């Protein structure tokens, strides 16, 4: 197994702490975690929110914000249907 040099590790840390990188790659990171869970037959295992957010490199409240955004969009869609 080959290990990262100090310079490579520093560059990697800089990259994954970059908000622009995370916002561009978040869908890929989410997809990877889902694929990994399914391929390892762990899809029935519940993952804690903190563990999930840590694995994809976002803050703890990220999943809650996504759910609220989806909820708002559904409510707006339903209001538009009523008109």
> Number of folded domains in the chain?
1
Residue 67 sits in which domain range?
6-82
7 has pLDDT over 70: yes
pLDDT of residue 1: 59
Task: Give the count of alpha carbons within 13 A of 73, CB side only.
Answer: 6
pLDDT of residue 43: 64
3-state secondary structure 53-74: HHHHCCCCCHHHHHHHHHHHHH
Residue 65 resides in a domain: yes
Residue 33 resides in a domain: yes
Residue 1 resides in a domain: no
Residue 78 resides in a domain: yes
Residue 11 resides in a domain: yes
Write out pLDDT tens, residues 28-72: 877 887 788 778 776 677 778 888 788 777 788 888 888 888 889
């Amino acid at each position: 197994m080959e290990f990262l040099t100090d310079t490579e590790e520093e560059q990697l840390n800089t990259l994954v702490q970059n908000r622009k990188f995370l916002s561009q790659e978040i869908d890929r990171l989410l997809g990877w975690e889902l694929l990994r869970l399914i391929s390892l037959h762990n899809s029935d295992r519940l993952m804690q929110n903190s563990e999930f957010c840590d694995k994809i490199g976002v803050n703890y409240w990220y999943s809650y914000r996504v759910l609220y955004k989806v909820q708002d969009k559904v409510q707006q869609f339903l209001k538009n249907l009523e008109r």
